[in-house]
Amino acid sequence: MKYVRVGKSGLKITEITFGTALTVGTEFDEEKRVSDLIDTAWNLGIRSYDTSNNYGEAESLLGRALKKYKREEYVVSTKGSWPIGETPFHRGLSRKHILWAIEESLKKLELDYVDLYYAHRYDPEVSMEEIIRTFNYLINTGKIRYWATSEWPLEALKECHKVCDKLKLEKPILEQSIYSYAITKIEKNGVKDFCDKNGVGLLGFSPLAQGLLTGKYRKEIPKDSRIAKSKKINYSKTLDIYNQNKKRIDKYLDVCEKYKVKAHYVALQWVLRKNIFPVMGASKPEQLIDNINALTVEIPEKLWEELENINEE
């Protein structure tokens, strides 16, 4: 497992980050099952772990699973801003909410600090100066080592960098966005170009488009799939993603089949080829092991050329 530098910062993470969204603490909460997954990730060389305060019990489960490992040997990130309650005090990027949210996350993770703390979606109701000063305060008090953004629009990122320069304060080192062969909006809306030009790292969540790029839904809906469990986990977007991107996904699967390469191997390498580092979850250890195998498989250059041509249609 390679280590990669996050943008222009000094932080290094493994090229694959283990993510807990929609699985740990949401789909299942058995401690042994979570521990087995984290141990598998660790044995595969993964040292970067991503969670959030709105992923059910994920923070608590991840924190307990990581306790056996030396704190300085891994990077853990969590997030604040996403609504987690009914009142205005349980959401957004106000100083009041973020200072409370980080303390709650640290308690659940049973940690003194997190390496990365995300402004989890942009909040237009809070001034950029307040957001920046709040996250810099957390850095200065040792609660976080770096700060980052997730799914921020281009104009907000531009304003953030401008205000950081004016105040001479630390900028976010990373933007985490949804990204896969099926969903390439950050290449179209200017976010990727901005990050590349300004030395901001990029992490992509849902690199397999929630399983749609594996081909497992092509003939039927598997019983243990996310679509089949949509009511249980209160999440129905996977089917929406397929319906919105059906033509592109089907053409992609046709190309993978033509070259006899596993579709999910291609999907993960596609993201890495774009210098975007995948945040990848798993429900089972064997699933995680198989996905990591993707990093070492040689894929014909002609396959990439055909996929790029589909991209231009």
CATH code of the domain covering residue 174: 3.20.20.100
Contacts of 88 (CB under 8 A, 6+ apart): none
**d(C-alpha 102, C-alpha 162), whole Å:** 25
Res. 202 pLDDT band, cuts 50 70 90 = very high
Asked if residue 193 is part of any domain, the answer here is: yes
Could you read off the pLDDT of 263-287 as tens digits, one per residue? Answer: 999 999 999 999 999 999 999 999 9
Amino acid at 57: E
Our CA dihedral for 244, 247, 252, 257, rounded to 10 degrees, sits at 130
SS (H, E, C) 258-293: HCCCCHHHHHHHHHHHCCCEEEECCCCHHHHHHHHH
Backbone CA torsion sign across 255, 273, 22, 43: positive
Res. 220 pLDDT band, cuts 50 70 90 = low
Could you read off the pLDDT of 238-259 as tens digits, one per residue? Answer: 778 878 888 899 999 999 999 9
CB 67 within 8 Å of CB 312: no
Asked if residue 268 is part of any domain, the answer here is: yes
Asked if residue 86 is part of any domain, the answer here is: yes
Beta-sheet pairing, 277-280 with 114-120: unpaired
Q: How many domains are there within the chain?
A: 1
Ranges of H-type helices in the chain: 31-43, 58-66, 95-109, 128-140, 154-167, 185-188, 191-198, 237-258, 263-273, 285-293, 301-312
Asked if residue 271 is part of any domain, the answer here is: yes
Res. 230 pLDDT band, cuts 50 70 90 = low
Domain with 28 in it: 3-208+263-300
Contacts of 159 (CB under 8 A, 6+ apart): 128
247/297: higher pLDDT: 297
pLDDT at position 305: 96
Average pLDDT over residues 204-211: 94
Phi, psi of 195, rounded to the nearest 5 degrees: -65, -45
**d(C-alpha 89, C-alpha 19), whole Å:** 26
pLDDT at position 240: 80
- Point out the residues that are catalytic: 55
Asked if residue 249 is part of any domain, the answer here is: no
| Structure tokens given for 88 | 């205005």
Could you read off the pLDDT of 65-103 as tens digits, one per residue? Answer: 999 999 999 999 999 999 999 999 999 999 999 999 999
Beta-sheet pairing, 3-5 with 12-14: antiparallel
Asked if residue 275 is part of any domain, the answer here is: yes
Asked if residue 236 is part of any domain, the answer here is: no
Asked if residue 239 is part of any domain, the answer here is: no
**d(C-alpha 240, C-alpha 312), whole Å:** 23
